Amino acid sequence: MKALLSFLIVCTVSMNANAQKIYSTPVYIGLDVVKGIPSYVFPEKYFIRKTVIIEPYVRFNRQKPGKSILISAGFAKGSSKVDSSRQVNSNQFQGIYFKMAFEASNRRIPISGGVGPMFSISGFKGKYQFKGPTFGDYTNSFHEKENLAFGAEGYVAYDLALNKKLSLRFLIRNAIAIRPGDISPPDYFPGIGYTKDMSQLLFSGGFSTQLFFRCK
């Protein structure tokens, strides 16, 4: 969490200091307003439970019209839905992730598309169980630290202006990433999404809503 806050402070200060020299205005600060909420509203039906996800953004224009750069960092902590039919029937996760996207927007309608690299460093812990019809079930726990995944994310977004300063962004995203090593597949990988039964090649998509504030 400290690394996330430090990253945001450095990015914000650096961009405000250099925006006039390199990039054209405006600069936008954003925050995802949907991720994590369904895990509290539908804890028994959603694939993650009581999960805190904080994902802020900084977006600024490039010199070319209709081109911009989006930088984001995130923190996620929670657990996946308990499934007693599986060997690994509970999975807690915590991680930080960083994303960057090169974005192009349509000048006639408020639709944008972007793609760029991402990586996540996350930890997992939980319990697993092997059925034992003769000698009884065997239960144990696991704790995996500093799991790394890296790849790319692409998205299509629609921007709805609320006023001169605020706008909502409705976004459809897809991420693909590689996870080195032979490690048990997580149900949810921070920064990527739902990855149940995926071990090394992770693929996930979803829908989200973001709130942006125009700084200048």
The second-level CATH assignment, the architecture, of 2-80+93-122+145-177+206-214 is Beta Barrel (2.40)
Least confident of 78-92, 103-117, 194-208: 78-92
Mean pLDDT of 157-186: 91
pLDDT tens-digit readout, 26-70: 899 999 999 989 899 987 788 888 899 999 999 998 888 889 999
pLDDT score of 21: 47
pLDDT score of 20: 47
**Separation between Cα atoms, residue 170 and residue 172, nearest integer Å:** 7
pLDDT score of 19: 45
Least confident of 18-22, 41-45, 95-99: 18-22
* Residue 114 confidence (pLDDT) above 50: yes
pLDDT tens-digit readout, 124-156: 887 766 666 655 566 767 778 888 999 999 999
pLDDT score of 45: 81
Mean pLDDT of 191-207: 90
Burial class (CB in 10 A: 0-12, 13-18, 19+), 159: middle
